[in-house]
């Protein structure tokens, strides 16, 4: 018997998607069914992100929308989970009293119990206690994808980059036991998943706490699971990427040749102020090692402009570093002040217009590079996992290469989930267009 309908909105990174899949799993186990329409839902949950102010603004907008629904349907249960819940706690309820519960990042496993409590007692609940030890295992998972599964391998972060809120809202690094991870991957493979992405804020420090396996060992174990054809992982912190790991990727049968290796900035002065734990020279040496040992691999990065104290000289260094690295793609962000982090208290915050101008310059430079790299793939044959119809053109399939590039090609006899060979005919900046090789 169904107890009602739920709608979960998810913001932020893949870790938040993975957490939301565990929330959905619990709701479904408790008899709830999913609805796409907020207006039909008996339970609305927002899994939030606070990494930048823009992420928080979006959530406040949605919280406002739900107020009207709640006025129409007082039985509607409305909860806020995730990083912003962790950061703001009961402030959220003071600001928006129509919220019924606030659930911190370490409390995913409490979801249905708390909803039950609210149904019985109608009193609001805030639980944001963050335990640095416990990892909730064996939660039911309702995965969003059909062929591709997110698998968290560790939670939290110990790095405290000076701009970043994540360590405060996700707690200290804790790694899942390797056998739990492998069991989850095995179950996913049995359910038909062909690709897994191992998730952590810094996967390269996996296992430093329990010492049962390091990240390279774990990759080998996952690589060996029957039925899994692609193993992806993110995020690799540049300070911890070992030769053993690069070697493991090279020798793996299914480990994809794509490394997301966020540099964040291209001058050592700013990297030091960011507390990233490496200089430009050290990063360059690690990236060169990757390029030597994995010449086929794609390399992507994250970049922040407008960090406090950034000068024109720093920015010029950044641009030239970008040209030198020739990343396949870069995610570029405007520095966003996060209260409570060391950088927020730094003098010399950069003016908005300057930040925007630098962001534009950076994006233009990267677009040119991405386009050149992709153009070199014209005529190449690549392995693509068919993921589904393209959003804009239903008669076109969308899939990805092992190097994580999006490929679009006209439908043939293949099905979603198939692995096919595609010849690239029209490379573009963001996608590669091609045709099936028969």
Q: Is 102 in the site for ligand F3S (CB under 6 A)?
A: no
**In this chain, which stretch among 54-62, 160-168, 188-196, 396-404 interacts with ligand SF4, using CB under 6 A?**
160-168
Contact between 313 and 136 under an 8 Å Cβ cutoff? The reply is: no
Q: Is 167 in the site for ligand SF4 (CB under 6 A)?
A: yes
**In this chain, which stretch among 144-152, 160-168, 352-360, 373-381 interacts with ligand SAH, using CB under 6 A?**
160-168
| Dist CA 438 CA 82 (whole Å) | 46
**In this chain, which stretch among 77-85, 162-170, 370-378, 397-405 interacts with ligand SAH, using CB under 6 A?**
162-170
Q: Which does 302 bind (CB under 5 to 8 A by kind): ligand SF4, ligand SAH, ligand F3S, none?
A: ligand SAH
Q: Which of 201/403 has CB closer to ligand SAH?
A: 201
Burial class (CB in 10 A: 0-12, 13-18, 19+), 287: buried
Angle between helices 280-293 and 243-251 (to 10 degrees): 20
Q: Which does 167 bind (CB under 5 to 8 A by kind): ligand SF4, ligand F3S, ligand SAH, none?
A: ligand SF4
Provide the sign of the torsion angle of the four alpha carbons 391, 396, 397, 398, taken in this order: negative
Question: Which listed residue (18, 23, 27, 51) binds ligand F3S by CB under 6 A?
Answer: 51
Q: Is 102 in the site for ligand SF4 (CB under 6 A)?
A: no
* Six token digits for residue 128: 């944001």
**In this chain, which stretch among 16-24, 312-320, 329-337, 416-424 interacts with ligand SAH, using CB under 6 A?**
329-337
| DSSP one-letter string for 298-361 | EEEEEEEE--TT--HHHHHHHHHHHHHH--SEEEEEE----TTSGGGG-S-PPPHHHHHHHHHH
178-237 positions binding ligand SF4, by CB under 6 A: 201-202, 237
Q: How do beta strands 258-260 and 396-400 pair?
A: unpaired
Q: Which residue is nearest to ligand SAH (CB)?
A: 302
What residues pair up with 46 in beta bridges, in sequence order?
9, 80
Q: Which does 160 bind (CB under 5 to 8 A by kind): ligand F3S, ligand SF4, ligand SAH, none?
A: ligand SF4
Question: Which listed residue (23, 41, 50, 287) binds ligand F3S by CB under 6 A?
Answer: 50
Q: Is 13 in the site for ligand F3S (CB under 6 A)?
A: yes
Question: Which listed residue (4, 6, 16, 182) binds ligand F3S by CB under 6 A?
Answer: 16
* Six token digits for residue 322: 């970008």
Q: Is 408 in the site for ligand SF4 (CB under 6 A)?
A: no
Backbone angles phi, psi at 249, to 5 degrees: -60, -45
The 3 state secondary structure assigned to 96-158 is CCCCCEEECCCCHHHHHHHHHHHHHHCCCEEECCCCCCCCCCCCCCCCCCCCEEEEECEECCC
Q: Is 197 in the site for ligand F3S (CB under 6 A)?
A: no
Contact between 102 and 130 under an 8 Å Cβ cutoff? The reply is: no
Could you tell me the CA-to-CA distances from 303 to 136, 177, 297 in Å, in that order?
A: 33, 32, 20
Q: Is 149 in the site for ligand F3S (CB under 6 A)?
A: no
**In this chain, which stretch among 311-319, 321-329, 333-341, 384-392 interacts with ligand SAH, using CB under 6 A?**
333-341
Could you tell me the CA-to-CA distances from 387 to 130, 384, 407, 412 in Å, in that order?
A: 36, 9, 10, 14
CB 300, min distance to ligand SAH, A = 11
Question: Which listed residue (41, 115, 149, 164) binds ligand SAH by CB under 6 A?
Answer: 164
| Dist CA 200 CA 54 (whole Å) | 23
Q: Which of 336/374 has CB closer to ligand SF4?
A: 336
Could you tell me the CA-to-CA distances from 58 to 20, 46, 69, 87 in Å, in that order?
A: 18, 11, 18, 16
Residues 6+ apart with CB under 8 A from 363: 332
Q: Residues in the chain, how many?
A: 438
Q: Which of 111/157 has CB closer to ligand SF4?
A: 157
Q: Which does 89 bind (CB under 5 to 8 A by kind): ligand F3S, ligand SAH, ligand SF4, none?
A: none
Q: Which does 16 bind (CB under 5 to 8 A by kind): ligand F3S, ligand SF4, ligand SAH, none?
A: ligand F3S
210-239 positions binding ligand SAH, by CB under 6 A: 235, 237
Distance of CA 261 to the CA centre of its chain: 13
Residue 60's H or E segment, with its range, is helix 53-72
Q: Is 43 in the site for ligand F3S (CB under 6 A)?
A: no
Q: Is 143 in the site for ligand SAH (CB under 6 A)?
A: no
Q: Is 160 in the site for ligand SF4 (CB under 6 A)?
A: yes
Angle (CA) 410-411-413 rounded to 5° is: 140
Query: Would you tell me which residues interact with ligand SF4 (CB under 6 A)?
Result: 157, 159-161, 164, 166-167, 201-202, 237
Query: Would you tell me which residues interact with ligand F3S (CB under 6 A)?
Result: 12-13, 15-16, 49-51, 82-83, 165-166, 169-170
Query: Would you tell me which residues interact with ligand SAH (CB under 6 A)?
Result: 51-52, 163-164, 166, 201-202, 235, 237, 262, 264, 302, 304, 333, 335-336, 338
């Amino acid at each position: 018997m169904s107890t009602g309908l739920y709608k979960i909105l998810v913001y932020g990174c893949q870790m938040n998607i993975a957490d939301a899949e565990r929330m959905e799993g619990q709701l479904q186990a408790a008899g709830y069914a999913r609805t796409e329409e907020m207006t039909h839902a008996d339970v609305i949950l927002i899994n939030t992100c606070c990494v930048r102010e823009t992420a928080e603004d979006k959530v406040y907008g949605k919280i406002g929308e739900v107020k009207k629904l709640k006025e129409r349907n007082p039985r509607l249960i409305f909860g806020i989970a995730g990083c912003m819940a962790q950061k703001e706690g009961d402030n959220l309820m003071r600001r928006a009293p129509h919220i019924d519960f606030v659930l911190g990042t370490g409390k995913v496993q409490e979801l249905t119990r708390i909803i039950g409590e609210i149904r019985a007692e109608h009193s609001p609940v805030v639980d944001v206690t963050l335990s640095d030890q416990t990892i909730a295992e064996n939660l039911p998972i309702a995965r969003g994808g059909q062929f591709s599964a997110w698998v968290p391998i560790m939670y939290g972060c110990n790095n405290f980059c000076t701009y970043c809120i994540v360590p405060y809202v996700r707690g200290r690094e804790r790694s899942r036991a390797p056998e739990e991870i492998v069991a989850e991957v095995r179950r996913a493979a049995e359910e038909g998943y062909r690709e897994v992405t191992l998730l952590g804020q810094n996967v390269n420090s996996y296992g430093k706490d329990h010492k049962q396996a390091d990240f390279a060992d774990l990759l080998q174990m996952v690589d060996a699971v029957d039925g899994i054809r692609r193993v992806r992982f993110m995020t690799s912190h540049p300070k911890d990427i070992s030769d053993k790991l690069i070697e493991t990727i090279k020798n793996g049968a299914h480990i994809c040749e794509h490394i997301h290796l966020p540099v964040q900035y291209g001058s050592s002065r700013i990297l030091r102020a960011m507390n990233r734990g490496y200089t430009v020279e050290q990063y360059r040496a690690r990236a060169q090692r990757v390029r030597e040992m994995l010449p086929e691999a794609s390399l992507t990065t994250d970049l922040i402009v407008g960090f406090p104290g950034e000068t024109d000289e720093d920015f010029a260094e950044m641009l030239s570093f970008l040209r030198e690295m020739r990343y396949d793609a870069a995610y570029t962000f405007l520095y966003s002040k996060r209260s409570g982090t060391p950088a927020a208290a730094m003098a010399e915050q950069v003016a908005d217009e300057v930040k925007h101008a630098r962001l534009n310059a950076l994006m233009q430079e990267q677009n040119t590079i991405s386009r050149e790299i992709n153009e070199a793939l014209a005529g190449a044959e690549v392995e693509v996992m068919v993921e589904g119809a393209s959003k804009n053109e239903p008669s076109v399939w969308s899939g990805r290469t092992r190097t994580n590039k999006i490929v679009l090609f006209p439908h043939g006899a293949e099905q979603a989930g198939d692995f096919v060979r595609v010849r690239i005919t029209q490379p573009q900046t963001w996608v590669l267009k091609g045709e099936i090789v028969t």
